A and B are shown apart, each in its own frame.
Chain A
């Protein structure tokens, strides 16, 4: 009984890893501006960006400024934000449901949002309408899952997961019906392309619009990051240490759903990020959400930015990012599962 082996990571090490991830993200952020068919030298990229805040003497062409500010900047920001949000939502759902398989898709949050968006495209509601509708249906499906799950007897974690699978499948069927009745020349391709997930066509205005719900959810989760750990205790244990986990659980679920819905609303269905990145981060910093959440936020942003760079530069045609995340995510998850010290 006297083995003093370290199996967990110390606070110092965790801080270092988080700082390192932050550094990688910053470097990658600026390097991403160099990628693309139109060449902009690195010095000019920096000058154009600084010019947005402090006016500088113009040494760049107007086309460079358009490429950097109007095309690349919103896209890079959006990739970081969506990666950050989906990973945070995944960590939150996994903690709340004490289930390593939980992800934004589990509460029906993603499929609800997809249905909402498809419906809005069918009704020709415009970008703002798509966002609002995706959000409303995402919330609706989570609310339904929560209601059904909490009304069943027995293992609540399990019943919420099952309810999530069922509600998801209902919304998927509804989405299929929307596709069936959609106008096959304009609407159907729009819906299909949107469902594949893509960050293309992002404008600065759209990014700022998505920024409000995203930062609200991210900040609240970040503040609750230690408290979230208490949700892994059994109900009786939590009660006996004097904590009202009901309210905390609801708050974390609402935040995670807000993050999922606003991500899906701006970028379509980008799967796997919310499942694979949290697991990678658990390997890096352990399961204490105090470190797991900040590490996940940074790693998620890095991952999606990297994948988006691939998606817009790998082939001459853009590959929808949702396809790439699935191609990378699914095999990686299978690899994790078959490893000796499997996380699940």
Chain B
């Protein structure tokens, strides 16, 4: 799968939020999108997912303009993993994953044994099969995030778009989830994820897209573009980069 974003610009209630963004991504890429609040990370994802179509520029999936692709076809290519939220009604983990497969289930029908098997495979892959009979609403944040990723995998999409998947997780779960996501990208999934932690982008992603309030976006490998200057420019905070045996560490200077 190849995703191409060409000269994308978008306005949100009249104010421009994305200006002339271009990048290409392919299967196996793990792209972290960083930038301050309100810079348009979510808007970028909404454009890519076809939720927003009122933008300038072109987004292509395997060469086809996404505006010409039906929602059903889009769902077969791109899966969206939202930030976790408490659902109103309790569904079992298995039911939650099965809902992601609605595209494959006829309107008056219900999931069959084949779909249940696929859902269980996806849960197994994320290491949460033992939770399948639990109430999704009562899981920990980390477990919920893994189940939502399993739902995306069961959807059989090759591109995973995640809106701040670690924002509601505790320290340990953040890294467990990120490791799982990196494993997926190494398996051939294209991962596009937004984060508020430059450290996560530095440690896990293959490339980083930094969206700036003023000025053009910056794209490159973490080692290339993540510098004290960029952190200062993005967040207005000075930071030191410390080289350790397990890789560089970003430490803010307070």
Chain A positions near chain B (C-beta within 8 angstroms): 1-2, 4-8, 10, 94-95, 98-100, 223-227, 229-230, 232-234, 236-237, 239-244, 282, 286-288, 290
Contact = CB atoms under 8 A, between A and B. Distances in A.
B149 to A, nearest CB: 13
B121 interface: no
Nearest to A247: B107
A242 B71 contact: yes
Given A6-B133, A237-B82, A286 B90 contact: yes
A240 B103 CA distance: 10
Contact of B109 (A7, A226, A233, A243): A226
Contacts of B76: 242
13 contacts: A4-B130, A10-B133, A226-B111, A232-B88, A233-B99, A236-B82, A239-B51, A240-B79, A242-B103, A243-B71, A243-B102, A244-B71, A287-B89
B10 interface: no
A242 B51 contact: no
A227 B88 CA distance: 17
B133 A7 contact: yes
Contacts of B30: none
Looking at chain B, what size class is its interface with the partner chain?
35 or more
Given A4-B130, A224-B107, 17 more contacts: A2-B130, A4-B133, A7-B90, A7-B135, A7-B138, A94-B89, A99-B88, A225-B110, A230-B102, A236-B80, A239-B49, A240-B51, A240-B74, A240-B78, A242-B73, A242-B75, A282-B89
B105 interface: yes
The A interface, classified by DSSP as helix, strand, loop or mixed, is loop
A4 to B, nearest CB: 5
B134 interface: yes
A288 B94 CA distance: 11
B92 A288 contact: yes
A100 B72 CA distance: 30
A286 B49 contact: no
A1 B131 CA distance: 9
B205 interface: no
B130 A243 contact: no
B108 interface: yes
B233 interface: no
Interface string B185-208: 000000000000000000000000
Contact of A241 (B95, B102, B143): B102
A241 B51 contact: no
B49 A240 contact: yes
B114 interface: no
Contacts of A8: 90-92, 95, 133-135
A50 to B, nearest CB: 35
A241 B75 contact: yes
B155 interface: yes
B38 interface: no
A233 B91 CA distance: 11
Contacts of A287: 89-91
Contact of A100 (B75, B82, B88): B88
B236 interface: no
B87 interface: yes
Nearest to B82: A237
Contact of B89 (A232, A239, A241): A232
Contacts of A1: 143
